[in-house]
Structure 1
Amino acid sequence: MTAMAPTRTAPDLSYLLDHTSHVLRTQMSAALAEIGLTARMHCVLVHALEEERTQIQLAEIGDMDKTTMVVTVDALESAGLAERRPSGRDRRARIIAVTETGAALAGQSQEIVDRVHRDALTGLDRGDRDTLLRALGQLAGGHLSAPADTPGATRRARQSRK
C-alpha cells in the first residue's frame, strides 16, 4: 500500500503551520492560566483598552462567535476585570470597559504573551527569526489574509482537552 502513496513535491506547509500554532496556543494557555486568564480574556482586555470598542468589534478582532464572546465577557465581569457600558459615541451600542484591576492584569498578561512569543522563537538565530516573522506577516497581510469561499464551512481543528 505505501508504494502507492503519492510522492511529496513540497514540505507539508499545512502540517507545519497547524502543528506549531497548536503547540504555541497550548503554551500560551498554560502561561496565561497562571494569572487566571484565557487567551480570549487577554485578547478582549488588551483590545478594549486600546480604544472604545463594542462586544461585536472585539469578537471580530478575537475571531470569536457571539456565544463565545458573551461567555468571555461574562467571565471578565464576574472577575471584576471588565464591564459592559453604554457607548459614548452611540447610545444604542454597548462597549466593554476594562476596570483598573483589569488594566493591571492586562499589563501582566501582555508581558506573558510577549515572553511566550519570544521563547517560541529561541530555537532560531536572529536572522531566521526576522525572516520568519516578516514572511508570515506578508502571508497574513496578503495572499492568506482571508479564507477562501467554500461551498461547505471549513472548521478549525478542535483542541484536545486533557
Structure 2
Amino acid sequence: MPPSARPGNALPFLLLSAFRALIDELHVRLAEAGHGDLRPAHGMAMQMISRGGGVSDLARRLGVSKQAASKTVTTLERLGYAERRPDPRDQRQRAVALTARGVEALALSGDILNHLRDEWAAVVGPGEMDGVEEALARLGGHGSLDGIGDWLGA
C-alpha cells in the first residue's frame, strides 16, 4: 500500500512498532553484554537520574508519583545501577546517582543505539534515514522527555 493511501490511524502504530523494534533490539544487545536485568522503563529512569537530584526530582521528570519513582530507584539499587547518597547541596536530603554499572549501561545503550541507527540507515538509505529523523524532530517539537512517564500512564 502506498504511504499516502494509509489511514491516519496507522501512523501511531507505525511509530510505536518502529520504536518497539528499536528498544527490543537494544535490550537483546544489552542482555548479551551482561545487562539482561534492565527493562525499557529502567532506561528512561536512568536517563533522568543522570541529570542529578533526588527522588522528588526524578518523579517530576518522569511525571510519576514520588512513591513510583522511589520504587523504581529501589529496583535499580537492587540491580546495582543506582544508589542513594547524601545530597551535596543539602545533607538532610538524599540524592540518587548512577553507580559505575549504571553509567556503563547508559553509555553502552548509547553506543548500541548509534549502531542500530546505522543499521536502519543501511536498510532504508542514509538520506532517507536523515529525512525520517529530521521529520520526526520537526513533528515532535522540543523533544524533551520530561513527564513522559505520566503521559504513558506509568
Provide TM-score, normalisation by structure 1. 0.63
In 2, are the aligned partners of 1:24 and 1:120 still within 8 Å (CA)? no
Look at both structures and tell me which one has the larger radius of gyration over its CA atoms.
Answer: 1
Structure 2 Cα separation of the partners of residues 61 and 44 of structure 1: 9
Structure 1 Cα separation of the partners of residues 118 and 64 of structure 2: 25
Q: Find the counterpart in structure 2 of residue 123 from structure 1.
A: 123
- Listed one character per residue, the Cα deviations across residues 18-55 of structure 1 (whole Å, up to 9, x for unaligned) are 22223223223323333232233333334433x42223
Question: Which consecutive aligned stretches of 4+ in structure 1 deviate over 6 angstroms post-superposition?
Answer: none
Letter in 1 for 2:49: A
**Deviation of residue 92 (structure 1)?**
5.4
Structure 1 Cα separation of the partners of residues 6 and 108 of structure 2: 45
> Higher relative contact order by CA 8 Å / sep ≥ 6: 1 or 2?
2
> Does residue 1:73 correspond to 2:84, yes or no?
no
Distance 1:131 1:93, change over 3 A: farther
In 1, are the aligned partners of 2:121 and 2:128 still within 8 Å (CA)? no
1:52 partner SS: coil
2:123 partner SS: coil
Distance 1:116 1:73, change over 3 A: farther
Q: Where do 1:55-94 residues align within 5 Å?
A: 55-62=55-62, 66=66, 68-91=68-91, 93-94=93-94
**Deviation of residue 133 (structure 1)?**
0.6
- Listed one character per residue, the Cα deviations across residues 101-146 of structure 1 (whole Å, up to 9, x for unaligned) are 332333223222332343334322111111111110111116xx99
In 2, are the aligned partners of 1:52 and 1:87 still within 8 Å (CA)? no
> How big is the alpha-carbon RMSD for the aligned residues of Structure 1 and Structure 2?
3.5
Greater helix content: 2
Letter in 2 for 1:39: P
Distance 1:22 1:88, change over 3 A: same
Provide TM-score, normalisation by structure 2. 0.66
Q: Find the counterpart in structure 2 of residue 15 from structure 1.
A: 13
1:86 partner SS: strand
**Deviation of residue 96 (structure 1)?**
1.1
Q: Which deviates more, 114-123 or 12-21? A: 114-123
Is there any run of 5+ residues in structure 1 with no aligned partner, and where?
1-7, 147-153, 157-162
Structure 1 Cα separation of the partners of residues 11 and 135 of structure 2: 13
Identity of aligned residues (%): 27
Q: Which deviates more, 85-94 or 102-111? A: 85-94
Q: Find the counterpart in structure 2 of residue 159 from structure 1.
A: none
